[in-house]
Amino acid sequence: QFHKIKYEDLTWVESLGQGSFTRIFKGYKTDIHDGEKHVTNVFLKELDAVHKDYWESFFEAASLMSQISHKHLLLVYGVSVYGAKNIMVQEFVEYGALDLFLKRGRSVSVSWKLDVAKQLASVLNFLEEKNIVHGNICAKNLLLAREGDPAQGSPPFIKLSDPGIRVGMLSREVILDRIPWVAPELLMDPNNLTLESDKWSFGASVWEIFNGGNNPLLGWDLNLKHQFYENFQQLPPSQWTELADLIAQCMDYQAAFRPSCRSIIRQLNSMITSDYVILHAAEPVTQ
Ligand code: ATP
Ligand code: MG
């Protein structure tokens, strides 16, 4: 399902800290093609030794990413196994995670954010056509390959990263902590990932993108987060009615009522003109 990469072909450059169940590094991989040496920057995700039981799900994520190809989907070169080490070797994406980028507080225009949403919708549509569920869509898993010009017209370029460990494998605490990205029906049945559950996560991610990459329920304890879903609550709506409406459709507690990707894309495309009105009439809406 995936390409095996020899551990000897990998070089560790620096530690970048921790992911959810991983230690993350910048590095490079060396290949020999027709006697010529090729060096590629890579992002190395090593499954934490304490979470080694997750290895199968970790490799499933790598395998999923290796099987499909789309310009807005992160490239996974393969996996490397060395002793007890399980490593996913990915393309290194220059500007890192989108939530962090937005949190740095640069001025980012509405059309830039709308472009990000459209690019994410295009991968979602691609996955829907292939009947493939991602399972962990959030701004943290959107990587910024090109900044564009956030304040002006030129568009960004994002890539959706791998889903990591499957929701069904995670503890109750970790799942509750993923509120409001995890679809509410998954609390009842975490193994029931569907195309519809990705739509919910898409809605939450679009909310994040338009709210400076902030966690909408930052600091809420797990009980409160749980109550948020129990009470069928919604995230604070955007002032931009069309956007608020799209997010509300995606974050519908009834999975069957969430829109198709075609409808999502149609709605995003029709937002261009209103975007202009907001951008020029009411400055404060731009972050
Ligand atoms: P999860 O499975 O929950 O997504 P993870 O192990 O993928 O967890 P993340 O928290 O998603 O870990 O990623 C950690 C950080 O690594 C991100 O904030 C991002 O800045 C950076 N990062 C992830 N993938 C890449 C990549 N391919 N290139 C550059 N930076 C990356
Ligand atoms: Mg990730």
Which tens digit of pLDDT belongs to each residue from 73-99? 999 999 999 999 999 999 999 999 999
What separation in Å is there between the alpha carbon of 250 and the centre of ligand 2? 22
pLDDT tops 90 at residue 279: no
pLDDT tops 80 at residue 274: no
- Tell me the pLDDT tens digit for each residue of 184-216: 999 999 999 999 999 999 999 999 999 999 999
- Atom 29 (ligand 1) nearest CA: 93
Q: For residues 117 and 108, what is the distance between their CA atoms, to the nearest angstrom?
A: 13
pLDDT band at 62 (very low <50, low <70, confident <90, very high): very high
Ligand sitting nearest the alpha carbon of 46: 1
Average pLDDT over residues 37-47: 97
Largest CA distance in the chain: 63
Pocket flag, ligand 1, residue 25 (CB < 6 Å): no
Average pLDDT over residues 156-181: 98
pLDDT score at 153: 67
Pocket flag, ligand 1, residue 66 (CB < 6 Å): no
Q: Please state the pTM of the whole predicted model.
A: 0.94
Average pLDDT over residues 263-284: 67
Atom of ligand 1 nearest to the CA of 22: 6
What separation in Å is there between the alpha carbon of 167 and the centre of ligand 2? 13
pLDDT score at 71: 98
Looking at every residue in the chain, the average pLDDT score rounds to 93
pLDDT score at 227: 98
Pocket flag, ligand 1, residue 141 (CB < 6 Å): yes
Ligand sitting nearest the alpha carbon of 164: 1
Average pLDDT over residues 254-283: 77
ipTM: 0.97
Average pLDDT over residues 211-232: 96
Atom of ligand 1 nearest to the CA of 74: 27
Q: For residues 249 and 241, what is the distance between their CA atoms, to the nearest angstrom?
A: 12
pLDDT score at 283: 39
pLDDT tops 80 at residue 276: no
* Residue among 91, 141, 177, 201 whose CB has most ligand 1 atoms within 8 A, to mutate: 141
Q: What residue has token string 């393969």?
A: 78
Pocket flag, ligand 1, residue 251 (CB < 6 Å): no
pLDDT score at 115: 95
Residue, of 2 and 119, whose pLDDT is higher? 119
Pocket flag, ligand 1, residue 164 (CB < 6 Å): yes
User: CA-based angle 203:47:146, to the nearest 5?
Assistant: 50
Average pLDDT over residues 158-162: 98
What separation in Å is there between the alpha carbon of 224 and the centre of ligand 1? 27
Question: 167 Cβ partners below 8 Å, 6+ apart?
Answer: 135, 136, 175, 178, 182, 186, 190, 191, 193
What separation in Å is there between the alpha carbon of 110 and the centre of ligand 1? 25
Pocket flag, ligand 1, residue 24 (CB < 6 Å): yes
What separation in Å is there between the alpha carbon of 282 and the centre of ligand 1? 34
What separation in Å is there between the alpha carbon of 141 and the centre of ligand 2? 5
DSSP the chain: ---B--GGGEEEEEEEEE-SSEEEEEEEEEEEETTEEEEEEEEEEEE-GGGGGGHHHHHHHHHHHHH---TTB--EEEEEEETTEEEEEEEPPTT-BHHHHHHTT----HHHHHHHHHHHHHHHHHHHHTT------SGGGEEEEE---TTSS---EEEE----S-GGGS-HHHHHHTTTTS-THHHH-TT---HHHHHHHHHHHHHHHTTTT--TTTT--HHHHHHHHHTT--PPPPSSHHHHHHHHHHT-SSGGGSPPHHHHHHHHHTTHHHHHHHHHH-GGG--
pLDDT score at 287: 32
Give the side-chain half-sphere CA count within 13 A for 17: 4
pLDDT score at 273: 46
pLDDT score at 253: 98
pLDDT tops 60 at residue 55: yes
* Residue among 98, 140, 167 whose CB has most ligand 1 atoms within 8 A, to mutate: 140
pLDDT band at 154 (very low <50, low <70, confident <90, very high): confident
- Tell me the pLDDT tens digit for each residue of 122-135: 999 999 999 999 99
pLDDT band at 275 (very low <50, low <70, confident <90, very high): low
Quick check: 169 and 191 in contact, CB under 8 A?
no
